[in-house]
Amino acid sequence: GNQEQVLKYSEILIRNKSRQLQLSPGSAFFMNGPGGHHAMAGDACRLLGRFADALSHCDQAIKLAEQLPEENRNSSDVLSVLAFAFETTCEAHLALGAVENAQKVASQAVSVRRKLVVANGNSIESQRELCVALERMGSVAMRLSQFDEAIKHYREALTTRTKLYEPAGGVAGFLGN
């Protein structure tokens, strides 16, 4: 299906961009380079039920980001790929029943999403993605019977979401009622 095509395309791009990166290190645009393609391949593998492959691709994306010079690691592009890789890794761990591992990477995803909110000037999209990451943390905490922790994450997500609707006149105004 479609995910198989995404995976094949991502793997071709990874090979080609890796060669380009070897020829001129640091010149590849991260999101459209090997890091971004590994993250996309990881998500395609996750959706295909190939969880070990998903974890491997996402691990590569994370390692590539960590190898970047310090000044490049906090760019929106790199942070977006990192957040996506951590989130995909979390979902793969959950599918494999490794809930404690999922909690660790979900926490890393929230941390990166917080940085993205700042890097993107509190954009609505960045705040919405932070809410999704917080909800994922709450869900993982629930699976571990950490109810107080889950409530804390859900409450922060709800508070943030509510603030997103305020400029539109609250939820009713946002929905056009």
Say how many CA atoms lie within 13 Å of 114 toward its Cβ: 9
Residue 26 — very low, low, confident or very high, per pLDDT cuts 50/70/90?
very low
pTM of the model as a whole:
0.80
Q: Does residue 103 have a pLDDT over 70?
A: yes
Q: How far apart are the first and last CA of the chain?
A: 40
Contacts of 104 (CB under 8 A, 6+ apart): none
Residue 177 — very low, low, confident or very high, per pLDDT cuts 50/70/90?
very low
Q: Does residue 77 have a pLDDT over 70?
A: yes
Return the DSSP state at 50: -
Compute the Cα dihedral for 70, 74, 80, 84 and give only its sign: positive
Instruction: Compute the distance between CA of residue 107 and CA of residue 101 in angstroms, rounded to an integer.
Output: 10
